[in-house]
Every structure is written in C-alpha cells, then in structure tokens.
Chains A and B, each alone.
Chain A
Amino acid sequence: MSEPTPHAETMESNAGRRWLLRVLDPGVLFPGLAVLTLTAVWLITFNLVDREYRTADRRLAALVSDMAQTYEAQAVRALREIDTTLKLVRYSLDARPPQEVLDELSRRDMLPPTLLFEVRISDAEGHGIASTHDLYSTRKTSRITEQSGLVVELEGEAATGADQSLVFSRRLAEEAQVSGTVSVIVNPAYFVSGYDMNTMGVQGVLALVGDGGISLVRRTGENVHTGEATEYERLLSDSSLVGEPAGLSVSEWDGLERYLVARALFEFPIAIVVGLSRAEQMAATNATRRAYYWRALLVSLISIAVLTLLGRLSRKLRLIQAKALEERLEHARRAEHLAFHDTLTGLPNRAHFSHLLTHGMQHAGRYDKRLALLFLDLDRFKAINDSLGHDAGDELLKEVSQRLIRSVRKSDRVARLGGDEFVVLLPEIEAADQINRVAEKILAAVSAPFLLAGQEFHITVSIGVAQYPSDGEDEQTLMKHADVAMYHAKEEGKNNAQFYSEELKSGSLERLTLEQSLRRALERKEFLLYYQSKVDMATGRIIGMEALLRWQHPELDLLLPHQFIPLAEENGLIVPIGRWVIYTACQQNVAWQQAGLPALSMAVNVSARQFLDDSLLRDIKGALATTGMSPQLLEVEITEGAMMVDMPRAVSVLQQLRKIGVRIAIDDFGTGFSALSRLQAFPLDTIKIDGSFIHDLPGSSADRSLADAIIDLGRCLGLTVVAEGVESAEQVDYLRRHSCDQVQGYYMHEPQPACDAVHAIQKNLISEP
C-alpha cells in the first residue's frame, strides 16, 4: 500500500511554521524569555537608578542654591544690624563719658543682645574705654586708622580658633569728642548657627570668607573653624550664578566634593559659602540604588528559577507529547501493517497482495515483461492442523512462510491468502524455466522435515502457476487460473507444480461442480460401497472383503475415490463420509453373516485426515456397537503416508484401535518414505503391497526383488502380507511361491456392489479349492 502523502504546502507557510516551531521549542523559548526578562529588568533598573541619581543631583544643586540665597539674606541682615549698631553708637557719642552713652543705649534696648554681642569703644591706641561687657576681660583692639568703612577682623589667638571673636569696627568721626573706634564683637559661631544638622549633615559647609582670603568662620557638622586661608577669588569664580543650581567642586580645606555656592555680599567685604557633601547627601540615593540592584538581582534569580522550572516542565511535557505522538504513529503503523499483513506470518495478506499483483501487472504491461503467479496450497495441512492443534499448525505456517521467503529472490513477493494458501509473485520472468526452478526450490524447501514440538513432520505443497499476460490479463483471472493449476497439481498426486493451460479450465469447472455436489452427496445418499475380495493364498477361499467407496454422481458417471477424496479431504467432508463408510461396511458384514455366509473380515480405508481426526475412534466404536459386528473382523487400512504425518499420534491411535480389537493394515506399502525401523513402532497386523510393485511381476526384476523384500519383511515382523492389484495367474503363482499370504485384485474379483459380491462369495464357497 502506498503511504498516504501529506498535502503539499507552500514553501512559505512551511518556513513560517518551522520558524515558529523552533522559537516555541523549550530549548529556545525559555532561554530566550530569560534573556528578554533579564534585559528588561536590568534596563529598567539602570534607568530608574540613573533617574534617581539625576533627580537627587538636581534636587541637591537646587537645595544648595536655595540655602545660599537664604544664608546670604541672613548674613546680610546680621551684618547690617551690626553695622547699624556701630553707626548708632558713633552717632550717639557726645560729651558724656562713652560708658554712660553705651549704658543709656543699652537701657533703651537699642543695642543688640549682650548675650551674643559686645559693643566696645576703644581709644586711638586701641585700649577699651567703654563696653557693654566687662572691660577687664577685653583685649586690646587693633588700631584702625586708615580705613573709613567697616572693618572686619578676627581677634584672639588664631591657633586655638574656637576662642576667636569677630570684630566689626568703624572709626569714630574726626570731629567726635573721642577719637578711636567703635566695635561690635561677636562669636564667629553666630554666623554659622543656622547650620542645620538635619539638612546639611556632618559634611555640609557654611562659611563666611573675608575678601582678604581668610575664612572668618567655617562650620562643618559640629566643628567651627576660624582663620583658615582660602583662595577667595577661585572660590567665587567656581561658583554658579544667583538662582542657578549649585555646581560641584572639591573643597580645598578638606578635599570633599560638594555642591557649593560662594557669593560675595553686597556692600560688605565678605563672601558666604554654602555647600553640601555629595557623598553624604547621595548616601540615601546610593542606598536606594543598592536596593534597586538587590531587587533586580532577586527578580532576575526568581525569573531564571521560574523559567528554568517552566522550561523543564515544558520540555518534559513536550517529551511526553512526542512520546504519545510516537506511540500513536506506531499504533497507526501497526494498524496499517495489520491491515495489510498477515498477523501470523507477517507476510502481505490478500488485500496487500491484490495491490502488489495489480501493481506488478501494470509494471509488466508497461515494460512488456512477463510475470508469474504461483498459487500454493499445503497438502494435508488440515489433517495436521486438526491432529496437532492450531498452535502447531500456526508454527508450521510460520516455518513454511520463512522457507518460502528463503526460496525466492528479494524482488519476488510472498503472500499468505489465508489458511494454508500462499502465493508467490515473480514480477520479472526472463526465462521459462525460471518458474520451474523457483517451483522446484519451493517444493524442496517445504518437503524438508519440520521439527514441531520436538517431533519431525513432513508436509508437501501443491503449486499452480499462472502467467501474465498469457494466462490472464487481470487480477481475478490470473488468480483463478493459478488456483485451477494448483488443483490440478493436487489431482496429480500433490507435491508438484502445474502450469495453467486452457485444458485445465474445463477440469476446474468439473471440480467446482464436484465440490458443490459433494456437499449434498451424503444427504442424497449418492455414496455406495463396492467390495473386493481378499483371497487366502493357501486355501483359495475368500477370507475377507475390502469396502471401496464409490460416488454415484447424478450427472457424471460413477466416481472413484481418487476423483473426489482429495476434495473431501480439503474441505473436511472426509470425516462424515468416512463415518458413513465404516458404518455401512460394518452393517453389510453383519448382514452377510445373518444371511448365512461365513464371518469374513471387512477392511475399511481411512484417509490421512480421517485418521488424525478425533472422531475416528468414536465412529468405529459406534459402528461396531450399533451393528453388533465383532471388532476382530474389522480391519482399518491406512496409507503409509498418513501414518508418517504425525507418528506419535498415529502410534497412539493405532494402539487404541488395537485395544478395541480392530486389526490394522498398512495400505499402499512401499510408496511412502517410511523408514523400516519405524515400522516396528506401529502395532500392525497386515502389510498391503502396493499394486505398482505387482503390476510388472514377475517380468521386472526390480519389482521382483522389491516384492520379495516386502514379503520377507512382513513375514519377519509376523505380519500378514497382502498383495494388491493382482491381475494374472503368473502373478498369483509368483506370489504363492514367495509365500505371500493373501491376494487381492481383478484376477480374483473386481470391486463390485454388495449384491454381486454375495454371489461371488457364494460361488467361492461352493467351488473347490
């Protein structure tokens, strides 16, 4: 059978599907998803971190800028207050002692709080002459003579720093009562007291720098420094403009990077500095960044884990699916194989063979070749199958199929049509004797002994050959003709091959009719028995009769057993027919005795199939019981071949027959291939020499020696020896001389119906010996 071809699809959709399948393959899909997920997660994370950074950066720059503005405003106001105080005191000084003036101003709340601010008046030499504070503790104020504006100085020991004070001074007017200076003295920490630890941290900076390049005060965290050298110009030039975000710069005093604003104050020789440490302020952002990274890492790991798990599951699922698909395909393949092959032998079955044959014929027709069809049917297979059981039969068929395959070429096809029918197709015939060679090979292969259940068996095959195109140009005709040829081979004694010819056709028609009528023959009572006498060589008396089956066909003549028994064996009708034969023969025997004739033995032929049938013993017992015939008078004749099919069983059947008391004869002795050694195993009473050995007696020396040997053998084994087919007085003479026990043949009596047989017996009784 041709494989079903998938519908052709366009290349494009195929390519698309392949691509999709490749992408959907778990080995690609899940690593791909993992890469995508990780890329997305990390892109988002980096983006977020970057944005976070920039936001923080902008925020800090803006914050520092804002703080600078505030600080600037606060510093300017504080300085103005101080300057206002200086101007007020200078203005208020009159003729009174300066201390009195200060006290007066203080009382009137016109001076800044004494808690923080000291107002002092010094003389031209710098000695304090009046103060809001204890004059004894005040140091000498430096003399300022040249400058007329506000002077800012650090007073105190520069080394200790913390004890230094900021001194804001103005010179008293030339026209004033007192010459000297008025100063406001304040702790430098005052100007950086706005430092808020919460917003500026421990690394922020708040500072006032004098235009002389000395930082007046700088606070970082809790630490207040004074009197540090500072590059005033650079500090200012690095700084951003008013309102703009603060820039980043590295502070010279501690090397920290800061968002820094430095701005010179309007009308004061001072600049403010505000800064936030980048590292410190970014700490939160860095923490956030770390949190983002950890989170991204966690998400990545989880994604990888989940995708790995999914990938594993998917792969497993796909494997299961693939396995299921494979199983389905396998099942379908098996189903298809079953549909087109014989389950027992694995050979193509009838349907498949039909296809092969048609195909072969087409091929042969196209290339003008010849083709041969060999139709094979095993001989006596039914008998074997029935006696050994179906299992053994099946074993045999398997072995036969193997032998057939080995007998033909690779290009030849062997098929089993069913039962024991096989066909061999030779698709290319080059020479005529090629078919013969194959047929011979098959015959030889099949007839080689089989070993079944430890025992040796023999089987043969009948082959019918039909050729294409000479014997038929279509499958049916060719098959039919091969079948016809096969039947001819059966008729020709089996174990041979026959070619189909037109003449066979009529014969086959006969066979067909025969088979149909055979089935009805029993009901229609068309069978009858002829009887042939067996004459004792010593006395010349008839001592027994052999019952011979005849079929009075309604349309044809009287048919002899060889014309229909093979057919009956094939279709199994042999069993009921055989039963009828045994019963009728027994009945006749008893009838003759009752009619006053002496008790003669009655021989009945049992075919191979019948012999191996389970019902044989039952039928014989039944017939004996029904008719009341003495078992000792009944003789069962079995051919050598039938016994050899299944020796152990044959022995067992024969022993049981023996037990009943029935005598056993071996028919057509010498035609089979039985080993003489085995003969002893069978419980036999009689050997019947086949007529073919007698026919040429006493002329043929070969037949003489054979006949002599058989007679001697029988005598040695203590068996009764009967010669069949005796046709002349010379033969009788020869046989008598060679001590043959009994003779049977046309010379004495031909087979005749019961009524005629009675006369012959009576005549023989009366005649003289």
Chain B
Amino acid sequence: MTSRLTRLGFSLLILLSANVSLADVVLVVSAKSPVHILTRNELADIYLGRNSRFPNGQPAVPVDQRESSADYVAFYRHYLGQTPAQIKMHWSRLIFTGRGQPPRSLPSSRAVADFVAEHAQAIGYLDDAYLDERLRRVSIE
C-alpha cells in the first residue's frame, strides 16, 4: 500500500517537473539580490499579497506579466497551483476590501527582465530565453 502510494507520488513529481521544464518559465531576481532560494509557500505569500518581504527580511516587490500571457498562466499554475480565475477572485477580494494591491503587471518577459534587473528588491518570472547575467534564477524547494 505504502509503496504504491510512494510510487504514485514519484510519478506525479516527475510529471510536474516535466511540465515546469516544458513551460520554460523561470523565477528570477536581480543578480544583486541575496535571494537564491524560496519555498513554494514563501513564493505564494509574496505573490498573493500575504507577505511583502523575503525570508531574509528585505522588502519584496513582485511583478506579474499580463494576465493574458502564457507565462502568467504557466507561472500561477505551476508555481502556485492556481488558475487565473482564482487569482483574479483573490485580488478582487483584497482590492475591494482595501487590503492589498496585486503585483505590478508588465507587458512581456523582456519588460520583466529589465524591471527585475533594475530593482534589487524585485522578483519576477519570465521565459528562460530572456535570462541574462543581470538576473539570477531562484530555486524553488
């Protein structure tokens, strides 16, 4: 029983990582940022407005891509396990009740790359094709 469950878990993990690699969306910070690694929960907290700081205490400024972009969908689905509708509803509630603002929305991966490169506190996601030396990829545990 246990072994079967474990096996199922493994296959799911493999499938998930395969999807992530297929989407080619990567999480990035500025090369100047000290952040190297984040847990999935820490990432979700930052992107859903529950926490505005990195685990090391520095302010975090998340940036989004357009809601209609493939990167947006891929990011929320694979990193936060949420659909765009859910994200929209989430922010609707926060904005309407005056408890938060969604991340700044940038029109493209390039815009994200530029913004993150310029801001040490920023964090964003982009197509790995836009990775360059100004950026550092953040690992997710």
CB distance from A109 to the nearest CB of B (A): 7
| A321 sits at the interface (CB 8 A) | no
Which of chain A's residues have a CB closer than 8 A to the CB of B101?
A: 113
| Overall SS of chain B's interface | mixed
CB distance from A221 to the nearest CB of B (A): 14
Which of chain A's residues have a CB closer than 8 A to the CB of B68?
A: 134
| B71 sits at the interface (CB 8 A) | no
CB distance from A138 to the nearest CB of B (A): 13
Which of chain A's residues have a CB closer than 8 A to the CB of B15?
A: none
Which one of A112, A114, A115 has the highest number of Cβ atoms from chain B below 10 Å of its Cβ?
Answer: A115
| B55 sits at the interface (CB 8 A) | no
Which of chain B's residues have a CB closer than 8 A to the CB of A114?
A: 66-67, 105
Which of chain A's residues have a CB closer than 8 A to the CB of B13?
A: none
Binds A, one of B26-34, B85-93, B123-131: B85-93
Contact mask A158-196 → B, CB, 8 Å, 1/0? 000000000000000000000000000001011101100
One of B88, B93, B97 near A115 (C-beta < 8 A)? B88
CB distance from A189 to the nearest CB of B (A): 6
Complex CA distance for A115 and B68, rounded to whole angstroms: 9
| A78 sits at the interface (CB 8 A) | yes
B105 touches A78 (CB 8 A): no
Which of chain A's residues have a CB closer than 8 A to the CB of B88?
A: 115-116, 187
B92 touches A189 (CB 8 A): yes
Tally inter-chain residue pairs, CB-CB below 8 A: 45
> What total of chain A residues lie within 8 Å of the partner, measured CB to CB?
16
CB distance from A532 to the nearest CB of B (A): 139
Which of chain B's residues have a CB closer than 8 A to the CB of A77?
A: 98
One of B64, B89, B104 near A193 (C-beta < 8 A)? B89
Which of chain B's residues have a CB closer than 8 A to the CB of A194?
A: 93, 96-97
User: With A115-B67, A134-B68 known to touch, is A190 a contact of B105 (CB < 8 Å)?
Assistant: no
| A362 sits at the interface (CB 8 A) | no
Chain B residue with minimal CB distance to A113? Answer: B102
Which one of B92, B96, B101, B102 has the highest number of Cβ atoms from chain A below 10 Å of its Cβ?
Answer: B96
Complex CA distance for A187 and B91, rounded to whole angstroms: 12
Which of chain A's residues have a CB closer than 8 A to the CB of B98?
A: 74, 77
Additional pairs, 19, CB under 8 Å, beyond known A113-B95, A114-B67, A115-B91: A74-B96, A74-B97, A74-B98, A77-B98, A113-B101, A114-B66, A115-B67, A115-B87, A115-B105, A116-B92, A116-B95, A116-B102, A187-B88, A187-B92, A189-B92, A190-B96, A193-B93, A194-B93, A194-B96
Q: Could you list 9 examples of A-B contacts with CB < 8 Å?
A: A74-B96, A78-B95, A109-B104, A114-B67, A115-B91, A116-B91, A190-B95, A194-B96, A194-B97
- Nearest first, the 8 closest Cβ-Cβ pairs linking A and B are A193-B92, A193-B93, A113-B102, A190-B92, A115-B102, A114-B105, A193-B96, A194-B97
Chain A residues engaging chain B, CB cutoff 8 angstroms: 74, 77-78, 109, 112-116, 134, 187, 189-191, 193-194
